[in-house]
Amino acid sequence: MRVALEGLEAPPRLRLLVRVLAWPFRWLGYRGDPALPPVTRALTALGPAYIKFGQVMSTRPDVVGEELANQLRVLQDKLPPFPMEQARATIAEELGQPVETLFSEFSEPVAAASIAQVHRARIAATGQEVAVKILRPGIERAFRRDIDAFHFAAALIEALLPGTRRLRPTDVVRHFEGVVMGELDLRLEAASASEFAANTAGDEGFQVPEPVWHLSSRRVMTLGWAEGIPLGDVEAIRAAGHDCVALSQRVLQLFLSHALRDGYFHADMHQGNLKVAANGDLIAYDFGIMGHIDEYTRRVYAEILMGFIRRDYRRVAEVHFEAGYVPPDKDVDEFARALRAVGEPIFGMDASQISMARLLAYLFEVTERFGMQTRTELILLQRTMVVVEGVARSLNPNINMWQTARPVVERYIRENVGPKALARDLIRTARVLGRFGPRLPDLAESLLRREAEAEPAPIRHGRLRGGLTFLAGAAIGAAALTLVAAL
């Protein structure tokens, strides 16, 4: 705990308080694997939900320090595996046939993380090389225990510290619970892999393994094998002749493209879930956590990013107010100045010159000062942005995040904000209205009856004319716009 707090640059008073509060419990609980470093050992002992937190921190040496980040990378895919006997038993139970019948080759675990482990195999019937992912025994119960503890802690924090309620800890835990429960059904992960592969089929320099459906179930999933160098092995990537600068840019730009263009993105993009193929393509796998954002939120997010890129802090502030992210009683100009204090020190600087720990601390101060609440719909997006930036920095410590993001954001703005987007929205609205065309006579008749029963005669006649005029206009407008859309 001491090492973790030092890595996060926690204030001395907080470090002292944690040590005092933790002292009575230091002799209780599971001590973890003594071969692991202290923080890594503590997180693995606490449980799978805590390991997820450690995986995020492992991508941010600029926040927790290089030494601690390297220690935490063990959590990505190098945790102790469970025995082969249990893996074989799970496959036989889930797929209805023994391993020897289904696969001509089946290796020892090649990767093991908090939720599952992976085996390299070859399908007996086709000879295809695949990755077989198997859930850890008892993982559902372990996660439920962690989630229950989180719910208790969130309720306690909200009760004892009213100032934290704007952070909505209970809602955050509930959101996390939904994400995790989905991750524990590998049929959903197979569906995510399939959808993500379809969305990104045209993305140059990017590969997604396809699921093998007849060899997948709730606790077992089979995907095409992803052959490549793990993205965390930067030295091996350089030795193979790959361009780390280009890869760092591609990681960030692909994430932004998927989030903005598709509204569906890989939300667990740490180095343990990415490889570099022999031809230089980036390969993504492990689709247990996927993020989804609606079209309106995408436009808001893009406008905020574009405002920062153009250093138009007034517009960034206005977008926050328009979207309801900042309470309306706050001052927009004062908020714009606070955003300028965030943006200007990092604009034009490469990543090696920026202290992300201090920046995040100041951002927290800004959100507190302006009463900004946690937006649960943006949690996965913000978390993944932090992870992806950390991955990009590991490949290229001097990456300029704004310059790298600019072409993707500008392309999205061109296509989705402005006259072209307005025309597309109108056509979509027309199609929706067009589907209600056959029901307009019934709606008019129903309106007539209600108005006749409720209003005095003079008022009734005026409102009836207005209602009929509106319905007629809507019908004509819908028909016209539908015709334009068809043409």
Q: Is a pLDDT exceeding 50 seen at residue 380?
A: yes
Range with top average pLDDT, 237-246, 292-301, 444-453, 461-470? 237-246
Strands 220-224 and 274-276: unpaired
**Catalytic member of 62, 77, 146, 268:** 268
Q: Is a pLDDT exceeding 90 seen at residue 130?
A: yes
Which residue type, as a one-letter code, is found at position 46?
A: L
0.75 surpassed by pTM: no
CA distance 114 to 47: 8
Average pLDDT, integer, range 375-402: 81
CA distance 343 to 449: 59
Across 73-77, 214-218, 408-412, least confident range: 73-77
Could you tell me the two tokens for 456?
């005095």
Range with top average pLDDT, 52-61, 250-259, 361-370? 250-259
The predicted pLDDT at position 483 comes to 40
Q: Is a pLDDT exceeding 50 seen at residue 27?
A: no
The predicted pLDDT at position 436 comes to 62
Higher-pLDDT residue of 377, 479: 377
What does the pLDDT look like over 430-442, one tens digit per residue?
Answer: 666 666 666 667 7
For residue 181, name the pLDDT band (cuts at 50, 70, 90): confident
Across 10-19, 122-131, 259-268, least confident range: 10-19
Could you tell me the two tokens for 134?
């198997």
The predicted pLDDT at position 297 comes to 86
Q: Catalytic residue at 171?
A: no
Could you tell me the two tokens for 304?
């905020």
The predicted pLDDT at position 426 comes to 67
Average pLDDT, integer, range 467-472: 48
Higher-pLDDT residue of 455, 486: 455
The predicted pLDDT at position 53 comes to 65
Average pLDDT, integer, range 141-152: 79
For residue 135, name the pLDDT band (cuts at 50, 70, 90): very high
Q: Is a pLDDT exceeding 50 seen at residue 481?
A: no
Q: Is a pLDDT exceeding 70 seen at residue 310?
A: yes
The predicted pLDDT at position 361 comes to 57
Give the angle 67-72-78 at the CA atoms, nearest 5°.
130
What does the pLDDT look like over 194-233, one tens digit per residue?
Answer: 999 999 999 999 999 999 999 999 999 999 999 999 998 9
What does the pLDDT look like over 417-428, one tens digit per residue?
Answer: 766 666 666 666
Mean pLDDT of the chain, nearest integer: 78
For residue 148, name the pLDDT band (cuts at 50, 70, 90): confident
The predicted pLDDT at position 480 comes to 46
What phi, psi does 109 have (nearest 5°)? -60, 130
What does the pLDDT look like over 292-304, one tens digit per residue?
Answer: 888 888 888 888 8
Q: CA-CA-CA-CA torsion for 414, 404, 402, 233, nearest 10 degrees?
A: 140
Average pLDDT, integer, range 50-57: 67
Average pLDDT, integer, range 454-466: 52
